[in-house]
Amino acid sequence: MPNSSSTSSSGFFRRIIFFLKMLEIRLRFVFILLITALLVGYWDHVQNYVERWQRAHAPHEGHDHATEAAASPGLQLFEYFCPMHQFVVRTDPGKCPICGMNLSQRLKGAATKLPEGVLARVQVSPDRIAQAGVQVEEVETRALTQVVRSYGVIEPDETRTSKITARFPGRIEQQWVNTTGQVVKKGDSLARIYSPKFLAATQEYLQAVAMNKQSAKDAQANPDEKRRSEEIMRFARQRLSLAGFTSDQLDEMERTGKADERLILKSPLSGTVLERNSLPGEVAEEGTALYTIADLSVLWVQVLILESDIASVHKDMPVEITSVAYPGHLLHGTVDFIAPTVIPDARAIKVRVVVQNSAGELRPGMFINATMRAPLGRFELIQNSDAKTTGTQTAVKMIYTCPMDPEIISDKPGDCPKCGMALVQKVAPAKNAIWAEGWACSMHPDELSDTSGTCTICDCGMQKQRYRLEKQISVPESAVIDTGQKQVVYVETSPGVYDARAITLGTRTGSWYPVRDGLKPGERIVTRGSFLIDAEARLNPGQ
């Protein structure tokens, strides 16, 4: 009778061996499927590598090609290719089946010389193009706008700000404006100052007035004496005027003939009291600032613009302003001044924007967000059928032409030799420039429409004006591959064949790049799937 323990152990081992055989069969099947999938997926690469290997090893390295060709007449030393479609390679001379050009001769395995400006050339099979969803579009021209966004701080308008100072030393007897933030009107009484120097000055003025009146009544007075007395009276009056006396106060003093050692300070403008630096009973020295008053109906906004964006900003351009205090409420200002220096630490330039504040929403010291929109290239505001240049982002040439005879063109101002009208300054049309015309508001000059009226893009409420914009050659952001040193796009030269071309781009505007050099309108570029094409070019640089 067999041992039960040995029987059970042998059965256990048989089960393990059976399991391992089953696993081997399944893994073999999986391995075959994996190899098949890799071959199918990378069949193009396999073909490319095999073809390159055959070309490299057909004439063995180290052999003399000419001697070997002479010794073996059947060995092919040269091949023929199309310069325009270099993927067309033949063993015999002839013509290209695509463009009909004569095929050029070269040594087998020799490196293909690419056209000037082409960094690489790659051919992709239709299956790979379909799998990657490669999309090709024509290069077009568009009206592009550079949007500059930044922040700024609100300040009072310096031209609408005044400091009221004591012109003579004295004591402040009374103040009618005694709180900061109080609103005053032009001519309102601010404070009364007592000063003995005022008494001496007013007495001097009254004496000069009396002498002038007496000289005017004296029929025997010398004309020089009359003129001298008038000048003395005028100088005395000017001295009091500079001290703070108003014309009404001086006229009243002249009428009554009564001198006063007290001066009432009047507000020189309507506005808000920003500073109050004195109290009743204090002694004010000459030159002491008593009040600071500013008209806050118009404010300045000091906006910081990065050095890289300053080329898009120009004087008189509109600015869209929003504040944290009033989200969603748009205000509009105008660029009034661009600082001539750069702030070294921030690498930014101050741009002064003038904004109306009639509702009193904005206050000095507030932070705001500023948005500026400037068309790329040249743009013109068309008024009464004449073009008026309102801004430019590129170097332009100005010409002078006659409104009645447009064929009359001159480089200098003058009169038309035909009709005698004064020549009008205009921007010279750029070579091969493409222009777009339409109605738009100054905040959105690139949103051209065929009808005039009020802007409906935002809540600016501006009336549309007729603009002429120079269109820019542009490519979508998805078409550009940035290598760190160059910007590259892939140009389709024929179905499935793509050339890597380095181009010069401007600053990105939204999802578009303006093209400065390297492309022409009508050329077809890869706009989707460019990374796949680039990967194919890097994996197979010899294609």
**47 CB-near residues (< 8 Å, 6+ apart):** none
pLDDT at residue 66 in the model: 45
Which one of 472, 495, 525 terminates a domain? 472
- 206 pLDDT tier (thresholds 50, 70, 90): confident
Using one digit for the tens of pLDDT, what is the confidence trace for 257-286?
A: 777 677 788 888 999 999 998 888 888 888
DSSP 241-307: HHHT--HHHHHHHHHH----SEEEEE-SSSEEEEEE---TTPEEPTT-EEEEEE-TTEEEEEEEEEG
Tokens of 391: 């801004």
Distance CA 143, CA 349 (A): 27
Full residue range of the structural domain in which residue 326 is found? 147-156+296-375
pLDDT at residue 391 in the model: 44
**Residue of higher predicted confidence among 148 and 105:** 148
Is the domain of 397 the same as that of 340? no
DSSP 353-393: EEEE-TT----TT-EEEEEEEEESS-EEEEETTEEEEEE-S
The 10 Å Cβ neighbour count of residue 163 is 14
Span 383-402, average pLDDT = 52
Is the domain of 232 the same as that of 328? no
Is the domain of 430 the same as that of 443? yes
- CATH code (residue 317): 2.40.30.170
Q: How many domains does the chain fold into?
A: 4
**For residue 112, is it within any domain?**
no
**Residue of higher predicted confidence among 72 and 308:** 308
**For residue 21, is it within any domain?**
no
Distance CA 500, CA 506 (A): 19
**For residue 395, is it within any domain?**
yes
pLDDT at residue 296 in the model: 93
Is the domain of 342 the same as that of 326? yes
pLDDT at residue 539 in the model: 67
CA pseudo-torsion sign 84, 87, 92, 95:
negative
**For residue 283, is it within any domain?**
yes
In Å, what is the CA distance from 92 to each residue of 16, 119, 169, 255?
64, 28, 109, 119
Q: Comparing C-alpha atoms, which of 305, 5, 375 is closest to residue 152?
A: 305
Distance CA 306, CA 350 (A): 9
Phi, psi angles (nearest 5°) of residue 143: -85, 105
- 406 pLDDT tier (thresholds 50, 70, 90): low
**For residue 90, is it within any domain?**
no
DSSP category for residue 478: G
Is the domain of 344 the same as that of 365? yes
**For residue 87, is it within any domain?**
no
Using one digit for the tens of pLDDT, what is the confidence trace for 162-184?
A: 998 887 788 888 899 989 989 99
Q: Beginning with the edge strand found earlier in the chain, give each strand of the sheet holding 104-107 in spatial order.
A: 89-90, 78-81, 104-107
Instruction: Provide, rounded to the nearest whole percent, the portion of the chain with pLDDT above 70.
Output: 83
Is the domain of 281 the same as that of 211? yes
Is the domain of 171 the same as that of 283? yes
Span 232-244, average pLDDT = 78
Helix (H, G, I), strand (E, B) or coil at 239: helix
Which one of 433, 456, 472 terminates a domain? 472
Is the domain of 266 the same as that of 186? yes
**Residue of higher predicted confidence among 208 and 107:** 208
Distance CA 297, CA 161 (A): 11
Tokens of 353: 């924007």
Strands (DSSP E) found in 108-261: 118-123, 135-138, 140-142, 145-156, 161-165, 170-175, 183-184, 189-194
In Å, what is the CA distance from 335 to each residue of 90, 318, 320, 459, 507?
66, 7, 11, 20, 22
Helix (H, G, I), strand (E, B) or coil at 341: coil
Distance CA 273, CA 259 (A): 31
Which conformational region is residue 384 in: left (phi greater than 0), alpha (psi within -120 to 50 degrees), or beta? Answer: left
**For residue 477, is it within any domain?**
yes
Q: Comparing C-alpha atoms, which of 364, 367, 368 is closest to residue 181?
A: 364
Contact 489, 475 (CB under 8 A): yes
pLDDT at residue 69 in the model: 44
**280 CB-near residues (< 8 Å, 6+ apart):** 172, 173, 174, 175, 178
**For residue 118, is it within any domain?**
no
Distance CA 397, CA 406 (A): 17
Tokens of 121: 């050339």
Tokens of 12: 């256990």
Which one of 455, 472, 489 terminates a domain? 472
Give the bridge partners for 301, in sequence order: 154, 353
CA pseudo-torsion sign 461, 466, 472, 476:
positive
Using one digit for the tens of pLDDT, what is the confidence trace for 413-464?
A: 888 887 778 887 765 554 556 777 778 877 777 777 778 888 777 766 777 8
Is the domain of 194 the same as that of 226? yes
Span 228-254, average pLDDT = 78
Which amino acid is residue 314, in one-letter code?
H
Span 464-468, average pLDDT = 79
Tokens of 522: 């009508």
Q: Is 406 exposed, middle or buried (0-12, 13-18, 19+ CB in 10 A)?
A: exposed
Span 285-295, average pLDDT = 88
Is the domain of 384 the same as that of 463? yes
Using one digit for the tens of pLDDT, what is the confidence trace for 303-351?
A: 999 998 888 888 888 898 999 888 878 888 999 999 999 999 989 999 9
Tokens of 303: 């906006």
In Å, what is the CA distance from 244 to each residue of 84, 199, 204, 255?
87, 14, 16, 19
Using one digit for the tens of pLDDT, what is the confidence trace for 337-386?
A: 999 999 999 899 999 999 999 888 899 999 999 998 888 777 777 764 44
Tokens of 378: 């040249």
Q: Which of 71-75, 299-303, 400-404 has the lowest mean pLDDT?
A: 71-75
Is the domain of 458 the same as that of 486? no
pLDDT at residue 300 in the model: 94
Residues in the chain: 543
- CATH code (residue 488): 2.40.420.20
Q: Comparing C-alpha atoms, which of 190, 417, 147 is closest to residue 305?
A: 147
pLDDT at residue 251 in the model: 77
Is the domain of 173 the same as that of 280? yes
Distance CA 185, CA 295 (A): 10
pLDDT at residue 425 in the model: 73
**389 CB-near residues (< 8 Å, 6+ apart):** 378, 380, 381, 396, 398, 425, 426, 427
Q: Is 391 exposed, middle or buried (0-12, 13-18, 19+ CB in 10 A)?
A: middle
pTM: 0.59
